[in-house]
Amino acid sequence: MKPIHRTSRATCTAPPAHPSVATWTSFLALGLLAAMGCGDSGQSVEAPETIDGRQVFRHDTFGSERFWTDTLRMHEVIQDGVSPATALAVGLKGDAGALPRGILDSADLDDPATTVELLRLGAVLGIEGSVREGRLQEVGVTCALCHSTVDDSVAPGIGRRLDGHANRDLDPGLILSLSPALQDPDSQAALTSWGPGRYDAYWNLDGVSDPALIPPIYGLQGVEVETYTGEGPISYWNAYVAVTQMGGIGTFVDPRLGIDIQASPDLVTPKLPALLDYQLSLDSPAVPPGSFDAAAAERGRTLFEGKAGCSGCHTGPTLTDANERLHRPDETGMDPRLAQRATTGLYRTTPLRALSAHAPYFHDGSAATLAAVVEHYDSFLRLRLADAEKADLVEFLRSL
Ligand code: HEC
Ligand code: HEC
């Protein structure tokens, strides 16, 4: 891994202030200036062709230690009060592959020092820490925090990594609410209201709190626009999140959002192609054989493609028309708020895959089960499906 160049200086451009969210915006500006490393970041940039996308996805913090350590002071929060039991309770996951054999038999899961040791071993999904003499010096976050989980093969919350699966146990708002920098009442009210599996990727910019479900990111091959609102291709959104949400040191410019953040060196942009390749390599998990009734699913397919009209939008190999068009919220009876805050004003038809593996459904989790999805469409689109037809349609969705 050959570094191209070492840190020079970052160009520091604060994001615009939104008058109605002055408190949070000024905090963000401070955080981003810190995150952007106005001064030496000490990080090096690799030549793009040597970059390993899986390594980036799992372990690269993009220099976000500036934000999570210097601004949010999460290293102190963890050191002083986050035992492994607490970490598991807020949905953090342990990588069995990084744990020395037998360590869980003797470790004290109620002692924050054990968490620090697990971070030293690199065994906490999505959190990278550096430890010196038992003290956590700094922490940063990676994509794996929200977009991977484990198979629970060792214990609940501890097992083999499952990259690309949404971590629907993770409570990012609750974790952020522990930061000493976010103790103001408005931030506390917002962050503690999100709940597990949800995150608001615009809140720190527009001050509105209306979180979306963390989506699975497998099976996106052939889907050209990403996010619930079709904001742009994968790498556009990866850069947005790495720079404006994770607090990584990188360049992200979008005049539509009024964001112009330039960083040099840029610890994000050179990694985007490898990160994209890795995401596209993540296939949807197979549907367990025998987990659905094949004959009913076949009848459900006929309804999906016919009377129920689903394939008007859920079409092609990925079961989405995302490459051709997006949809107004009132076409499918969706809550319009997320669309209104995003740049498109519209929703992308979600590609349907491994549905049984990631309840609840829709961007806001408003359908708890696949039966609730079918009920929603039946009443909103006035389909008048018989109960047996609804059941068949659910079996078809379970087969995907
Ligand atoms: C704090 C949690 C969190 C982190 C960290 C995070 N994401 Fe996400 N990600 C989300 C949420 C929430 C959405 C849904 C946003 C939306 O659609 O408006 C999302 C959406 C996505 C999507 C779109 C999926 C689709 O179906 O179109 C991709 C791809 C993605 N993230 C990849 C990444 C990568 C790569 C990283 C690291 C650079 C990352 N995410 C970091 C929470 C996170
Ligand atoms: C007019 C276009 C359109 C039609 C018709 C349509 N859908 Fe959708 N579908 C969407 C959009 C847009 C979304 C994303 C909505 C959101 O998340 O807010 C979606 C989301 C879904 C989801 C959620 C997937 C997930 O992972 O969250 C399921 C399941 C689904 N649709 C099934 C169906 C079924 C079954 C039918 C037929 C009864 C149907 N859809 C008809 C556009 C459509």
DSSP-assigned letters across all residues of 46-69: E-GGG--HHHHHHH--TTTHIIII
pLDDT(359) > 50? yes
Q: Name the burial class of residue 2, with classes exposed (0-12), middle (13-18) and buried (19+) by CB atoms within 10 angstroms of its CB.
A: exposed
Domains and CATH numbers, the chain: 3-280 (no CATH), 294-398 (1.10.760.10)
pLDDT(46) > 90? no
Share of the chain above pLDDT 90, in %: 85
Residue whose C-alpha is closest to residue 43's, from 264, 240, 238, 278: 264
List residues near ligand 2 (CB under 6 A). 228, 308-310, 312-314, 327, 331-332, 334, 347, 349-350, 352, 355, 361-363, 373-374, 377, 393, 397
pLDDT(22) > 50? no
pLDDT higher at 26 or 311 = 311
Closest ligand relative to 91 C-alpha: 1
pLDDT(206) > 80? yes
Q: What does the block give as tokens for 361? A: 């459904």
DSSP-based three-state secondary structure for 114: helix
Ligand 1 centre and the CA of 363: distance in Å? 12
Query: How many C-beta neighbours within 10 Å does residue 11 have?
Result: 13
228 in ligand 1 pocket by Cβ < 6 Å?
Answer: yes
Q: Give the model confidence (pLDDT) of 120-145 as tens digits.
A: 999 999 999 999 999 999 999 999 99
pLDDT(333) > 90? yes
Atom of ligand 1 nearest to the CA of 342: 18
145 in ligand 1 pocket by Cβ < 6 Å?
Answer: yes
Q: Give the model confidence (pLDDT) of 78-119 as tens digits.
A: 999 999 999 999 999 999 999 988 888 888 999 999 999 999
Ligand 1 centre and the CA of 111: distance in Å? 31
Residue 232, phi then psi, degrees to nearest 5: 165, -175
DSSP-assigned letters across all residues of 145-179: HHHEEE--SSBTTEESEEETS--TT--HHHHHHTS
Note the pTM of the prediction, 2 decimals. 0.91
Closest ligand relative to 176 C-alpha: 1
Residue 43: per-residue pLDDT: 54
d(C-alpha 320, C-alpha 323), whole Å:
8
Distances (CA, A) of 351 to 7, 211, 336: 41, 20, 19
Residue 45: per-residue pLDDT: 64
pLDDT(8) > 70? no
Nearest CA to ligand 1 atom 21: 227
Share of the chain above pLDDT 70, in %: 88
- Given a contact cutoff of 8 angstroms between Cβ atoms, the answer to whether 21 and 200 are in contact is no
Residue 371: per-residue pLDDT: 98
Q: Name the burial class of residue 288, with classes exposed (0-12), middle (13-18) and buried (19+) by CB atoms within 10 angstroms of its CB.
A: exposed
